[in-house]
Amino acid sequence: MRLTTFTDYGLRMLMRMASAPGRAFSTAEFADEFGLSRNHLAKIMQHLSRAGLIETRRGGGGGAALARPAAEITLGAVVRLLEEGQPLVECLGAQGNTCTLDGRCRLKSRLRQAEAAFLAELDRTTLADIALDPMRLP
């Protein structure tokens, strides 16, 4: 299974926020730290904010912080949110199935089971479990 970069980057930001509860992080700060596009990170931050996982503040001292304790946010919930609309394979999606094996394929049910097991495992882990160690300055 491969997660989208949207999810990968979202998890990176959340792990960093979990390392410093209550501290606000800007997209510019994340972009510098991770070497990623500020614009792309801003889209992910908006998505996380709309879902209620983070709170954002504008202005001086603004940025984003976790909306609730890291121990209350499971990785399964984050992955479901950020991977929404991204089926494991086309036939598991809600629309657009062009598979010529549909109706006689035995793989589909096994892929559903594997995806469910993957998410169940992530449901056993919280952001607190994977919070990054605080940055060490030289």
Q: Using one digit for the tens of pLDDT, what is the confidence trace for 44-69?
A: 999 999 999 999 988 777 899 999 99
Q: Is the pLDDT confidence value at 93 over 70?
A: no
Handedness of CA 23, 50, 27, 12 (dihedral sign): positive
The confidence score (pLDDT) of residue 14 equals: 97
Provide the whole-model pTM. 0.85
137 pLDDT band, cuts 50/70/90, is very low
Q: Using one digit for the tens of pLDDT, what is the confidence trace for 18-33?
A: 999 889 999 999 999 9
Architecture of domain 5-130: Orthogonal Bundle (1.10)
Q: Is the pLDDT confidence value at 17 over 90?
A: yes
